[in-house]
Amino acid sequence: MSMNEIDAQVLDTIDRWVEKEVKPIAKKFDQADEYPHELVEQMKELGLFGATIHPDYGGLGLSASTYSKVVARIARAWMAPVGIFNSHLIMAACVQRSGTEEQKRRFLPRFASGELRGGLALTEPNAGTDLQGIRTVARRDGADYLINGTKTWITNGVYGTHFAVLTKTDPEAQPRHKGMTMFIAEKGEGFRVGRKLKKLGYRSIDSAELVFDNHRIGVDRLVGGVEGHGFHHAVAGLELGRINVAARGLGLAQAALEDALRYAQERQTFGKPIAQHQAIQLKLADMATRVEASRLLIEQAARKYDSGERCDLEAGMAKLFASESAVSNSLEAMRVFGGYSYSVEFDVERYYRDSPLMCIGEGTNEMQRIIIAKQLIARNPA
């Protein structure tokens, strides 16, 4: 079976699962802010926790192109499940890309099966975009390290067990990034959940505060086995992460378009469907154009990523445009639905609440513009 046939089979399986299992429960779980335990078990069986992990370690080994399509298809129905396996896969990618061979054999097969699940613990109360400003410290204590600090807005924080935790092993290092180190930490003594965080959107995901209080961790959990490379481990996954966020934005933008298009043909004013009014047609045309442009930008970035080329420019463009498209399309869908858009009976209010997160996550869109501009200048010297 060719890779194209395998990819088509994967996407067909995802489509059927989304229709049967995801769509019917999205509204209920979102409104209750309830974690979808049963859906997570299904995601294990589908192999989603190993989607981008190499087959040598039990994963599906999907290309960035196929993975982005999987993400967009699920986000089109409900964005929350995507976050459960994406943050987990960024942690897995850190081990796969930078871990020792012993760490790969130890963790990746169990990450791929979903037996061990978790995510990435970077953000702190005082440090988000400026990762070098973190204050969580790991100090050597004999053969181990003691970690102290607090992480916040950590996806999978409540139900996850393992996290790639960014720390400072040398707080005085200059430049600051040279004193940063990544560990794979497991919940236990000295490592607990501070609290679950309530959110405007992106509900049903256990975003949490994680507290480290003299958490003892062995040197065998230090990613790559060498101090001082944590910052590079953290940022190395941003290109794929931004493609993922762009794919989520595409899914939301497309869902908003489809709902608006359907409603505009059902709802009548002044004796005809509102889809026949020019004011509505202009909205639908812009929404559809944003969807297709987002799709093409994501595919361009994914192709470059899969070919091994640097793609921070392309991934930044895709993330910027697709996330802003999600926000614009969700707002336009609200306007198409009129007063009904404020009813929880319709999904458009959820798109409206979920979409702004895509403009913040994986680097704010303001930061994306700076990255894009710097890359344009670097690639086109005068």
Q: Measured between alpha carbons, how far is 354 from 370 in angstroms, rounded to an integer?
A: 24
| Residue 362 annotated to the active site | yes
Q: Which residue has the tokens 């100090």?
A: 139
Asked if 317 and 273 count as a contact pair (C-beta separation under 8 A), the reply is no
**Bridge-based pairing state of the strands 118-121 and 162-168:** parallel
Catalytic residue among 45, 102, 362, 366: 362
Q: Which helix (H) or strand (E) holds 65?
A: helix 64-77
Closest CA to 222 of 291, 335, 294, 143: 143
CA atoms within 13 A on the CB side of 252: 36
CB 93 within 8 A of CB 80: no
CA dihedral 19, 20, 22, 27 (to 10 degrees): 90
Q: Contact, 120 vs 92, CB < 8 A?
A: no
Handedness of CA 279, 282, 288, 291 (dihedral sign): negative
Give which of 129, 117, 54, 42 is closest to 86, Cα–Cα. Answer: 117
Structure tokens at 61: 């080994």
Q: What is the residue-wise DSSP string for 136-191?
A: -EEEEETTEEEEEEEEEEETTTTT--EEEEEEES-TT-SSGGGGEEEEEEESBTTE
Q: Could you tell me if 217 and 209 are in contact, meaning their C-beta atoms sit under 8 angstroms apart?
A: no
Give the Å distances, CA to CA, from 249 to 62, 147, 183, 193. Answer: 20, 35, 30, 29
The answer to whether the CB of 319 falls within 8 A of the CB of 368 is yes
Q: Amino acid letter at 16?
A: R
Strands 137-141, 144-154: pairing is: antiparallel
**Residue 222 DSSP symbol:** B
CA atoms within 13 A on the CB side of 10: 27
- State the catalytic residues: 362
